[in-house]
Structure 1
């Protein structure tokens, strides 16, 4: 039987750091959206992060792939992991709270487990994982509010847009392991962001108009955080963990994000969530713990 991927103690430490970094990104994105249009905001995220990562690749003198197939894989990865989810989630955050966005984002782990089980022999879908998935979906439905399924409005549509972004993230983690797993994390992340930027540059110009750099200092600080720290830095961790723990386990990081995002949203933007959102998060957390077999069972 194929040995299954697990999360080591070292990988758990890196997941915790990644969760802390990405938890802060939701607030930074929301602050930037007060002044910057959605597609342009996403362009800023990928463009500046791309420059930083290619700088790292150059300093470390890492080999740059020449195979056109790898560059094609970069483009697909950029679409799945950046363009589609960043766009959907940024738009969704215009209409719902930072904390609820982060809770819905945690469903990435559910979708990632399902997709990974369909592709990789060492990440198969076991009865335990099926129970975890069921609890996770129940948590999502509770957080959204079952009444949201009765009729669509901007708020409920925004929530489903964010869920669409999580599906894209889930597909991306498996694609990254399948096509880019053998590359150094620095090169994989830089190439992915290059693919994203090539798509976003013309899209931002056509949809939002000319890209302005005349922004408030508060906006530049937000962009700096979510582009340099929460994208360039975070994706170096992302590919390291992907190689160690597998695509499904990597997305458990989304469970660690909501407490950070909810706290920051409440402190900085006076955001409040309905009690059902917290109940939904607890159910989602329980489902993810079941999926992973309990946090205390990770191997060294």
Structure 2
């Protein structure tokens, strides 16, 4: 069977993209359950720790060689901080103050932050007017969600929303770091090395701040922790790189808009959460910002007119 081109989206790739949105959207749902008994930093440790042996098996089965360079492992440590330890901890803490659906919407600004950060730091990805307009619309959507009270009433809910935005910004810097420091390494090895790096970082942090993890948890919380590690982390990275190989980075970015509906749906069905109209309107503005940043919808419209 011939492989899809680097920019095509066939039916199988679309299914993989939807599955990735489900498992990544599920991370907000799993975290909401785990937070009933486990503090945010410890959830981050569980998420990366239990995903490591699963990815190790996949790397071993595929016969991928482990790097021996200290420089590469140092890069994995930085990547683990930027792409796992910092954003996961910020998101999980944010979910102690706001609902999982809203957290997923705010996390949807990642693509726009990524375009701007890459435009500033990477020579081959210039900061165009389209990217700036898209980022501006994304921030406008966030401002609509937070409302005018965010300027006068700095409550924990507002701080939690800023934490989610901080996580999105950390993801953006991670994408640039990965391209600069790890582009020559096998993608799945990058995922494993990054998770090992974040595990090494989180173990002392958790022990100092939260104390040794409590293993006497309820079955539902253990299920959530294993779900966020096995499905939303290990399986998600396998899907991520499969889509990247089949359809390219631009198509992979579409998952940013697909995650919130699944996260919101899970929260509504199983956690009794409800999103107000301002959240949906804000999400629509963010979606328009994404479309402007991505540019393909407008290019397609021009081709149709021609």
Asked if these proteins are the same fold (TM beyond 0.5), I'd say: yes
Match of 1:55 among 49, 54, 57: 57
Alignment of 1:100-249 (within 5 A): 100-240=102-242, 245-246=248-249
Residue matched to 2:20: 18
* Structure 1 runs of 4+ with >6 Å offset: none
Quickly say closer, same or farther: Cα 1:18–1:297, change in 2 above 3 A.
farther
User: How far did 1:197 drift?
Assistant: 0.3
Verify the 8 A CA contact 2:41 2:206 in the aligned structure 1: yes
Separation in structure 2 between the aligned mates of residue 241 and residue 181 of structure 1, nearest angstrom: 17
Alignment partner of 1:45: what SS?
Answer: helix
In structure 1, list runs of 5 or more residues that go unmatched: 1-5
Tell me the C-alpha RMSD between the 2 structures.
2.1
Separation in structure 2 between the aligned mates of residue 46 and residue 26 of structure 1, nearest angstrom: 15
Q: TM-score, normalised by structure 1?
A: 0.90
Residue matched to 2:303: none
Separation in structure 2 between the aligned mates of residue 7 and residue 215 of structure 1, nearest angstrom: 45
Separation in structure 1 between the aligned mates of residue 18 and residue 151 of structure 2, nearest angstrom: 33
Separation in structure 1 between the aligned mates of residue 129 and residue 100 of structure 2, nearest angstrom: 33
Residue matched to 2:291: 289
Alignment partner of 2:212: what SS?
Answer: coil
Residue matched to 1:28: 30
Quickly say closer, same or farther: Cα 1:296–1:232, change in 2 above 3 A.
farther
User: How far did 1:241 drift?
Assistant: 5.0
Separation in structure 1 between the aligned mates of residue 190 and residue 145 of structure 2, nearest angstrom: 34
Aligned length in residues: 292
Residue matched to 1:95: 97
Verify the 8 A CA contact 2:134 2:292 in the aligned structure 1: yes
Render the CA deviation track for 1:154-209: whole Å, top value 9, x for unaligned.
11111111111110011111211222222222211110000000011111111111
Residue matched to 2:304: none
Verify the 8 A CA contact 1:49 1:231 in the aligned structure 2: yes
Quickly say closer, same or farther: Cα 1:252–1:175, change in 2 above 3 A.
farther
Render the CA deviation track for 1:230-289: whole Å, top value 9, x for unaligned.
10111233345567634x775442221111111111111111122111110000011111
Is 1:67 paired with 2:69?
Answer: yes
Q: TM-score, normalised by structure 2?
A: 0.88
Verify the 8 A CA contact 1:249 1:292 in the aligned structure 2: no
Deviates more, 1:275-284 or 1:216-225: 216-225
Is 1:9 paired with 2:9?
Answer: yes
Quickly say closer, same or farther: Cα 1:15–1:31, change in 2 above 3 A.
same
Is 1:255 paired with 2:257?
Answer: yes
Separation in structure 2 between the aligned mates of residue 25 and residue 164 of structure 1, nearest angstrom: 17
Deviates more, 1:50-59 or 1:194-203: 50-59
Separation in structure 1 between the aligned mates of residue 181 and residue 280 of structure 2, nearest angstrom: 37
Verify the 8 A CA contact 2:9 2:251 in the aligned structure 1: no
